[in-house]
Amino acid sequence: MPFIPHTEEDIRAMLDSIGAESVEDLFDEIPADLRSPPLTGIPEGENEMGITRLMQERAAKDGMPSNFIGAGAYEHHIPAAVWQIATRGEFYSAYTPYQAEASQGTLQLIYEYQTMISRLTGMEVSNASLYDGASALAEAVLMAVRVNRRSKAKRVLLPGALHPDYRKVVKTLIGNQGIELVELPFDETTGQTPVDTLAPYADDDVTAMVISQPNFFGILEDVDALTGWAEERGIPVIAVVNPVSLALLKPPGEWGANGVDIVVGEGQPLGAPLSSGGPYFGFMTTLKKHIRQMPGRIVGRAEDADGKPGFVLTLQAREQHIRRSKATSNICTNQGLVVTAATIHMSLLGDEGLTRVAEACYANTHALVEKLAAKGIKPRFSGEYFHEVALDFGGDAATRVQTMADAGVLAGLELSRDYPQLDGCVLVCATETKTESDLEQYVTTWEQAA
């Protein structure tokens, strides 16, 4: 029997010990009229060879197009060592490190992760991760409401230039908490969220404000001015950032005069494959003074009975398994395995490697824009951008994007679904994985799709 080790002899001996005639007897407390019908809708079992053939066919079916879609999930090279080590059974098949003495590997790794991600974002403390970037933002909004006790309004400002699906996730996950989400318009020319846009709220009770850097359109925001506006009014700021960009961009801990309060983002660019959208991980860092309001697991250094250093889960009194209905969140898991990969990934790249990746992404996207500019395609916005840009394809973008896909190039994400005013615009990203000939292929395919 697949994955079940029992011999006929074992089964008989075990039933004898229990005092049961058959395995079926063990289910005698389940009322007879509730018993399941035969599961005819599930196929018969496949052996490993059969399932391998099937999955290879499925995987091959989706082809290996040259991908220029970003929009929150980015194609990066992942060193071979990352997932070879992360999928060692000792990491892969361990549970949450509740028994600290038997989980020092995972615990120390998370402590190292917390250190790396705190340094990258310029913040003081980190948790062990959340589900993904979007849900981490929802948790950050809830946290900011807890942190800003002075505010009575429960009003949170969200930029319209924030990833639209992040806005939707925030709405889903905090929808029942009586929090008002106010959308800030972006400048139709620059693509930025100008500080002027905040003027109507200058004297309002605002509970927290979200800043995305880069924003959904890849555009760099004037983060110092935006943070400064909030600082003057004592409004906590939540930064949403791309971790790879932080090799080049000012960390949120340095925005404005004193830095932001909470930083979140999608951890996927740090070693998680695109993998159809997950599993990724959400990171969250903050200031020491807010740590008790932070959701999720946190690892701390500890001493054992012999005075030997090690690591434990700490501040567990915030969490659902202790606090139940009074917990900071219902969250239970972190994304342990993906964080394992990210920690190995960051260790292999180091400052130098991550900087080179970020520079290569910047260079490739800018090079593609230059090549397309020669064909008359222009960026939709005038603002400076990092590794992603909204291009105005003009006319029927949908048909052209599909024609390019059929020719093996995923040209980018059409923006009209979420931004009707950007009809004809496509969000394009060229990371470090793209070569000169990949960029040329993009241009050629674009021309042929005309």
Partner 1 sequence: MSTTEANLIFERSRAGRSAVAQAPRDHAATRIPANLQRKSAPGLPAASELDVVRHYTRLSQKNFSIDTEFYPLGSCTMKYNPRACNSLAMLPGFLNRHPLAPASHSQGFLQTMFELQEMLKEVTGMKAVSLAPMAGAQGEYTGVAMIRAYHDARGDTERREIIVPDAAHGTNPATAIMCGYEVREIPTDETGDVDLEALQAAVGPHTAGIMLTNPSTVGVFERRIKQIAGIVHEAGGLLYYDGANLNAILGKVRPGDMGFDVIHMNLHKTFSTPHGGGGPGSGAVGVAERLLPFMPIPHVIEAEQGGYRFAEESDRPQSIGRLSAFAGNAGVLLRAYIYMRMLGREGMVRVSEFSTLNANYLARELAAAGFDLAYPKRRATHEFIVTMKKQAKERGLTAGDVAKRLLDHGYHAPTTYFPLLVPECLLVEPTETESKETLDGFVEAMACILAESENDMDTIKSAPHTLPNRRFNEVAAAKALDVVFQPAEDGDASAPRTGTHG
Q: Which of residues 364-423 bind partner 1 (CB under 8 A)?
A: 384, 386, 401-402, 405-406, 410, 413
Q: Decide: 235 and 220 in contact? Cβ < 8 Å.
A: no
Q: Does 103 bind partner 1 (CB under 8 A)?
A: yes
Number of shown-chain residues binding partner 1 (CB under 8 A):
206
Site for partner 1 in 326-355 (CB under 8 A): 326-327, 329-338, 340, 343-344, 346-355
209 or 252: whose CB is closer to partner 1? 252
Q: Does 308 bind partner 1 (CB under 8 A)?
A: yes
In angstroms, what is the minimal distance from the CB of 450 to partner 1? 19
Q: Does 12 bind partner 1 (CB under 8 A)?
A: no
Piece in contact with partner 1 (CB under 8 A), picked from 38-46, 187-195, 204-212, 439-447: 38-46
Piece in contact with partner 1 (CB under 8 A), picked from 183-191, 195-203, 276-284, 368-376: 276-284
117 or 198: whose CB is closer to partner 1? 117
Give the Cα separation of 116 and 44 in Å (integer): 47
Q: Which pairing describes strands 282-286 and 262-266: parallel, antiparallel, or unpaired?
A: antiparallel
Give the Cα separation of 277 and 280 in Å (integer): 7
Q: Does 79 bind partner 1 (CB under 8 A)?
A: yes
Structure tokens at 345: 């990934």
Structure tokens at 155: 């009003």
Piece in contact with partner 1 (CB under 8 A), picked from 1-9, 143-151, 186-194, 228-236: 1-9
What are the phi and psi torsion angles at 388 (to 5°)? Answer: -150, 145
With CB under 8 A as the contact rule, the residue among 146, 168, 375, 378 that binds partner 1 is 168
CB atoms within 10 A of CB 287: 19
Q: Does 249 bind partner 1 (CB under 8 A)?
A: yes
Structure tokens at 257: 């005069």
The answer to whether the Cα torsion of 374, 376, 382, 384 is positive or negative is negative
Q: Does 445 bind partner 1 (CB under 8 A)?
A: no
17 or 203: whose CB is closer to partner 1? 17
With CB under 8 A as the contact rule, the residue among 150, 152, 203, 325 that binds partner 1 is 325
186 or 280: whose CB is closer to partner 1? 280
Give the Cα separation of 378 and 156 in Å (integer): 34
233 or 356: whose CB is closer to partner 1? 356
Give the Cα separation of 85 and 96 in Å (integer): 18
What are the phi and psi torsion angles at 21 (to 5°)? Answer: -75, -40
Q: Decide: 338 and 82 in contact? Cβ < 8 Å.
A: no
Site for partner 1 in 180-219 (CB under 8 A): none
Q: Spell out a b/e string for 202-212, using b for 16 or more CB atoms within 10 Å of the CB, else e.
A: eeeebbbbbbb
